[in-house]
A = this chain, B = another copy of it.
Amino acid sequence: MMAESEFEIIRRYFTPHGPRRDDVLAGVGDDAAIVRVPPDRDLVLCMDTLVAGVHFPVATEPAAIGHKALAVNLSDLAAMGAEPAWATLALTLPESDGAWLERFSRGFLELAERYRLQLIGGDLSRGPLSITVEAHGFVVPGKAMRRRGARPGDLVCVTGSLGDAGLALELGEQAPARLRRRLEYPEPRIAAGLVLREHASAAIDVSDGLLADLAHLLEPDGLGAALQIDALPRSPEFTAALPAGPRGDALSLDLPLSGGDDYELCFCLPQGLQAPVAALLGAVSCALTPVGVIEAQPGIRCYYPDGRRYSPRATGYQHFGHEGR
């Protein structure tokens, strides 16, 4: 719907690049795409929008926008334990800007390449800058991880480290390159999701902050959790970049609990599985850290090592009330 140039833009920046899959019978260029889902797989679908000025500053490097628009969707597939297959892209642009499109498409397609994901269709429109992606993946029937399913006594675990993206946002231009990379080029935990779907009782990706996303996982089952705040995994870059003094002390707790945009997985493991699952995740270069335990009593309670309660100051993009706020 972008006058003359829509087809030319797609042909120039998107179609010639990226993986080609045998299960795509018709990709970009017809009224719709035609694809084939393997007969022994269910299809997993998710859709997320990034709006300029809301989810990212307008001046963000276009390659980072392209990467992130796909990554946030692949993170949802990872949280289900799905294997990525295809994506569609709706790109709304104020004007046709070749240099911007070249960098945006490079960011998008480099990530697609890494997961053998094919861009099969979409739409280009004129309007305020906004990107909507739908990602499509496969799961073995009955094997998808869900938000529901945790049981009291299960360990609450997270992959990787928390708070890096939040600290990059907090520090702005002063943020070290490795923290900025965590914010701008989040790496979806696809390989970890494929491992975890055989073992985890429930899972969600951490997009809005641990407390908010864990609440989404607990709420449908009416469960709660006790978290040990000293156990929250922080990266060396995070610890090194924290400001000195009380502000740094506060951020060192607030960001791992409530900072968004980390795109790690939060998942629950039945007792006894921690060591074997940590070994399996280690094989895909992913750390596992237990941070708490599922409890029957609703709400999330945070504890210092000495057993005192800690009351989080902020809870991220939170949809449900919970105790301790």
Contact = CB atoms under 8 A, between A and B. Distances in A.
B30 A146 contact: yes
Contacts of A205: 31
Kindly report how many copies of this chain are found in the complex they form together. Answer: 2
Contacts of A25: 42
Interface string A1-25: 1011111100000000000000001
A76 interface: yes
A52 B47 CA distance: 20
Contacts of A287: none
A55 interface: yes
Interface residues of A, number: 72
B47 A36 contact: no
A33 B46 CA distance: 6
Interface in A40-55: 42-55
A89 B45 CA distance: 12
B33 A79 contact: no
A54 B37 CA distance: 35
B1 A45 contact: no
A79 B32 contact: yes
A2 to B, nearest CB: 8
Contacts of A79: 31-32
A55 B139 contact: no
Nearest to A53: B127
A317 interface: yes
Contact of A55 (B32, B46, B125): B125
B34 A46 contact: no
B49 A43 contact: no
A227 interface: no
Nearest to A148: B30
A297 to B, nearest CB: 22
A204 B30 CA distance: 8
Interface stretch (A115-123, A166-174, A234-242, A248-256): A115-123
A147 interface: yes
Given A125-B54, A128-B128, A144-B26, A45 B35 contact: yes
Interface of A: 1, 3-8, 25-26, 29-37, 39, 42-55, 76-77, 79-80, 82, 86, 88-90, 92, 120-123, 125-128, 130, 132, 134-137, 139, 141, 144, 146-147, 203-205, 207-208, 220, 317-320
